[in-house]
Structure 1
Amino acid sequence: MLTDNFGRKFYYLRLSITDVCNFSCTYCLPDGYQCDQPRDFLSLPEIRRIANGFSQLGTEKIRITGGEPSLRKDLPEIIAACKETQGIKRVAITTNAFKLPEHLPSWLDAGIDAINISIDSLDPRQFHSITGHNKLPHILKGIDMALAHGQTTVKVNTVLMREYNAYDMQTFLDWLKDTPVTLRFIELMQTGENQEFFDAQHVQGSRIKQNLILDGWLPAIRDKSAGPAQEFYHPDYAGRIGLIMPYSNDFCSTCNRLRVSSLGKLHLCLFTEEGLSLKDYLQQDDVEPLKQHIINMMGNKKATHFLHEKLTGATTNLAMLGG
């Protein structure tokens, strides 16, 4: 089991397979994707070796991220490769779902267990304003298809922004009355490129948490391989609410996840100075050297992300590592 110097155990790997994204979200890529580095993305054999190596070190869950992972034509093969790895109990994906109705059947056939979909507003015009795309009705259709199939867990990610969605909580709550998804409100995080936007738009999740508790929402039990969200349920609602609050005092104390970038670099934290290359260890099927390399690097993991000190490391935008 991978353990750091602070006794934290790591069951969860976030695996980016591309940093390319076709959306231009205001908080991440407002000018669209800029191809400013070599696009030597992980190959399918390299992804198999990563999954195998991490699973032998105790990883039980892999989340496939981007950029937008569905832009890779071999995504179904990547899902299947992770799912077929001994020891991996759950394979999830985070996506903007721009073609979810078309993609869903192949993802289900490949064995996907959970789908997280980025929707920052349930108002089509506001959604278009945030993302640059008029895709909300199509995405909601895909969610209905996934829920009707019943094979996958569906969650929706909403980045909180003061002027875009923070005052529209009732619309989200009305949707959750009859929609059995977990809606996760994510605090906007500062990156190297969004400081001015962050200062203008950041909303504290703790305020929403206080209101939820006052309105009768109850905390749900957290699984050991779950992400960082604090989840709440209410007997009168079909859906749940999750809160991801990276600026809360104890956020990093429950860290259980590592990240590998689409270029094959291990990131011990979303906001580290640089990734630690795994590429040399991904060229052979023997994963013992890879495992030892990962173990050796765990001693470099820090106790916290230092976001409170406005240190964002090498993370210029969230598309680099899938958040």
Structure 2
Amino acid sequence: MLEDKFGRRFHYLRLSITDVCNFRCDYCLPDGYACDSDRNFLSVSEIQTLVKGFAALGTSKVRITGGEPSLRKDLAEIIKNCANTPGIEHVAMTTNGYKLESNIQTWVDAGLDSLNVSIDSLDPRMFQSITGHDSLDSILTGIDKALALGVKVKVNVVLMKQYNAAEFSQFLNWVKSTPISLRFIELMQTGDNLTFFQENHVSGLPFKEQLLESGWSQLIRSKTAGPAQEFYHPDSEGRIGLIMPYSKDFCGTCNRLRVSAIGKLHLCLFAEQGLDIRASLQSADSIELQKQLSSLLSDKEATHWLQDGYTGGTKHLAMLGG
């Protein structure tokens, strides 16, 4: 089992398969994607070795991320290989939803069982302003298709003071009749967004207080769950989650590791740098990879230090898929 010196166990791998994204979200890539690094992304065979190695060490959940993972033409093959790896029980993906409506059936047939979709506003004009794309209606249709196929759907909303914080009630009304998990994520500071962060960061704590005062109750997290504090209400089909990385002891329940699209292990989203494991992937040696992962894990720190304004080597969230 992958376990660090603080007793945290890692059941969950977040695997980026590209850092390319076709959206221009104001908090991440306001000027659009710019190629400033090696784009020799992991091959399907390297991904097979990677997932096999993690699974042998107790990892049971893989989340495929980007950039935008659907920009890779071999995405369905990657999903299928992850789903067919012994020990992997859940294959999830995080997407901006651009190809969701047209491709969800193919992804489900390949083995996808869980989906996170980024929707930062339910107002089409605000959505376009944030992302640079007029595609909200198509994304919502894609979510309906995913639900009809039995996919567990989560929707991610990055809270931003000047953009969508006032839409909280509108989102709550949506989940009354929509069986999704809607997660509000505190805006995080990265290397490229300091001014935007200072102007738009809003704490999730007042929203938590509002939920509890309105009759929502908090759920207990499972071992493979993400960092969200999740809430349910008897009158709501959907649930609400809050991801508050600036809250006390946020990192105490960390259960995931990240691998970048070029084969670097990131012990934290805000680590100073990625640790190169690609040689082990190219040799297709799962045992050697397992030894390397266990050794490198000893360097994982107790916290991300975000609360002290530290962002490490993370210029923007598209680098590792958040």
Give the TM-score band, short-chain normalised.
Answer: over 0.9
Distance 2:31 2:18 in 1: 18
Distance 1:284 1:240 in 2: 44
User: In the aligned structure 2, how far is the partner of 1:275 from the partner of 1:75?
Assistant: 23
Q: What is the aligned partner in structure 1 of residue 254 from structure 2?
A: 255
State the 1:209 CA deviation. 0.5
Residue matched to 1:17: 17
**1:173 maps to 2:172:** yes
Distance 1:298 1:36 in 2: 28
Amino acid at match of 2:17: I
- Aligned to 2:138, the other structure's residue is in SS state helix
Q: Within the alignment, does 1:315 sit opposite 2:314 as a pair?
A: yes
Letter in 1 for 2:286: V
Deviates more, 1:163-172 or 1:68-77: 163-172
**Partner letter of residue 306 of structure 1?**
W
Deviation at 1:130, TM superposition (A): 0.2
Moved beyond 3 Å, runs of 4+: none
Specify the alignment match of 2:140 in structure 1: 140
Distance in 2, matches of 1:195 and 1:5, equals: 32
Q: Does 1:116 align with 2:116?
A: yes
Alpha-carbon distance, 1:101 to partner: 1.2
Taking the aligned partners of 1:278 and 1:91, their CA distance within structure 2 comes to 22
Percent of residue pairs identical: 61
Aligned partner letter, 2:88: I
Match of 1:221 in 2: 220
- The residue aligned with 1:283 is 282
- Using the alignment, how far apart are the partners of 1:283 and 1:200 within structure 2? 44
The corresponding residue for 2:67 is: 67
1:3 and 1:99 mapped to 2: Cα distance? 36
Partner residue in 2 for 1:301: 300
Q: How much does 1:105 deviate?
A: 1.0
TM-fit CA distance, 1:146:
1.0
The 10-residue stretch of structure 1 (106-115 or 281-290) with the greater mean CA deviation from structure 2: 281-290
Q: Which residue of 2 aligns with 1:270?
A: 269
**Distance in 2 separating the partners of 1:266 and 1:321:** 10
**TM superposition shift of 1:29:** 0.1
Higher mean alpha-carbon deviation, 13-22 vs 164-173, is at 164-173
* Within-5 A mapping of 1:47-86: 47-86=47-86
SS at match of 1:91: strand
Question: Partners of 1:83 and 1:132 in 2: how far apart?
Answer: 33
Q: Secondary structure at the match of 1:167?
A: helix
**SS of structure 2 residue aligned to 1:204:** coil
* TM-score, L = length of structure 1: 0.99
| RMSD after superposition | 0.6
Give me the whole-angstrom Cα distance separating, in 1, the residues matched to 2:154 and 2:12. Answer: 17
Q: How far did 1:285 drift? A: 2.6
Separation in 1 of the partners of 2:153 and 2:258? Answer: 22
Q: Could you tell me which amino acid in structure 2 is paired with residue 181 of structure 1? A: I
Structure 2: gaps of 5 or more residues: none
Q: Deviations over 1:50-75 (max 9, x none)?
A: 00000001100000000000000000
TM-score (structure 2 length as normaliser):
0.99
Q: Which runs of 5+ in 1 are unaligned?
A: none
- SS of the residue corresponding to residue 168 of structure 1 reads helix
Instruction: Describe the SS at the equivalent of 1:282.
Output: helix
Match of 2:5 in 1: 5
Distance in 1 (alpha carbons) for counterparts of 2:264 and 2:295: 14
Shift of 1:284: 2.2
Question: How far apart, in 2, do the equivalents of 1:298 and 1:145 lie?
Answer: 39
Q: CA deviation at 1:168?
A: 1.2
Q: Deviations over 1:29-67 (max 9, x none)?
A: 000000111101000000000000000011000000000
Counterparts of 2:284 and 2:235, CA distance in 1 = 51
Q: Which amino acid aligns with 2:170?
A: T
Q: Secondary structure at the match of 1:238?
A: coil
2:162 is the counterpart of 1:163:
yes
